[in-house]
């Protein structure tokens, strides 16, 4: 993997199509989409429920693979490398905030947050974990299990877990989708705080949320309109 140049896009999506088998018929979700996300900044993908946002995010994360086309992260096509390399790429360069949090129920809050550090092999874990939990305001709850936390708190743990290892690319899937307005604003604040030096790709159905982004990609009927620049 060659080191990407400073102003090349961090994520490039070329002619990507993805469909799912549902019983006997094939259901196209994304058809021949193209996009590129610049390094740094806050990008929002906006689309209705069921438009394929989560699917797209999964493709970017390398959790799923496109049927055709290519997804490039730092100029290397992640659908061309091995599963193992993909996983390594994901754990080293990305942080993911899932739509349904995906906290590990058998790990406490701080253990959940420590997990990525453990995987990447970073020492000095405790300090980082404490700092990040402080940042998301959950230091007191670090020894609790996720199931006793409220939705907003769980989401904040998920954010802490996604950024603790300081990934270059942060992917967020409706991070505020399950939250009330006030909590959503808080979570968004936190996100803004942690994102600074990184690239954030956030998918959402809400224009309101998307309006905070530097760039908005509207996803309609499985393909992109051209991006709208905000600000």
Ligand X SMILES: Nc1ncnc2c1ncn2[C@@H]1O[C@H](COP(=O)(O)OP(=O)(O)O)[C@@H](O)[C@H]1O
Q: Where on the chain is the footprint of ligand X (CB under 6 A)?
A: 20, 22, 29, 47, 49-55
Q: How far is the CB of 202 from ligand X (least distance, A)?
A: 12
Q: Which is nearer to ligand X, 44 or 138 (CB)?
A: 44
Q: How far is the CB of 8 from other proteins (least distance, A)?
A: 24
Work out the number of other CB atoms within 10 angstroms of the CB of residue 213: 23
Q: What is the spatial distance between Cα 56 and Cα 208, in angstroms, rounded to a whole number?
A: 21
Tell me the Ramachandran region of residue 184: left when phi exceeds 0, alpha when psi lies from -120 to 50, beta otherwise: alpha
Residue 201, strand partner residues: 43, 171
Contacts (CB under 8 A) with other proteins, residues 93-152: 96, 98, 102, 104-107, 111, 114-116, 118-120, 146-147
Q: What does the angle CA 217 – CA 54 – CA 171 come to, to the nearest 5 degrees? A: 70
Q: What is the spatial distance between Cα 103 and Cα 100, in angstroms, rounded to a whole number?
A: 8
Site string for other proteins, 29-58 (x = CB under 8 A): -----------------------------x
Q: How far is the CB of 6 from other proteins (least distance, A)?
A: 26
Stretch that binds Mg ion, among 16-24, 51-59, 72-80, 157-165 (CB under 5 A): 51-59
Q: What is the spatial distance between Cα 133 and Cα 145, in angstroms, rounded to a whole number?
A: 14
- Take residue 76 and report the two structure tokens written for it: 């290397």
Residues at the contact surface with other proteins, assessed by CB under 8 A: 58, 61, 63-65, 83-84, 87-88, 90-92, 96, 98, 102, 104-107, 111, 114-116, 118-120, 146-147, 161
């Amino acid at each position: 993997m060659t080191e990407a140049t400073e102003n090349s896009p961090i994520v490039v999506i070329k002619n990507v199509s993805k469909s799912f088998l549902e019983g006997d018929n094939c259901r196209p979700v994304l058809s021949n989409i193209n996009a590129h996300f610049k390094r740094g900044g806050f990008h929002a993908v906006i689309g209705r429920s069921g438009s394929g946002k989560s699917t797209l995010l999964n493709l970017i994360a390398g959790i799923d693979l496109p049927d055709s086309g290519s997804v490039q992260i730092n100029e290397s096509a992640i659908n061309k490398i091995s599963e193992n390399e993909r996983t390594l790429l994901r754990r080293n360069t990305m942080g993911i905030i899932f739509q349904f949090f995906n906290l590990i129920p058998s790990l406490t809050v701080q253990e959940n947050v420590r997990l990525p550090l453990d995987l990447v092999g970073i020492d000095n874990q405790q300090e980082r974990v404490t700092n990040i939990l402080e940042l998301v305001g959950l230091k007191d709850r670090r020894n609790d299990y996720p199931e006793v936390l409220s939705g907003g708190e769980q989401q904040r743990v998920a954010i802490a877990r996604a950024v603790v290892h300081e990934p270059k690319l942060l992917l967020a899937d409706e991070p505020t989708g399950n939250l009330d307005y006030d909590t959503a604003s808080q979570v968004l604040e936190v996100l803004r705080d942690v994102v600074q030096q990184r690239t954030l790709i956030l998918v959402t159905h809400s224009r309101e949320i998307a309006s905070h982004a530097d760039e908005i990609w509207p996803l309609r009927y499985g393909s992109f309109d051209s991006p709208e620049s905000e600000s």
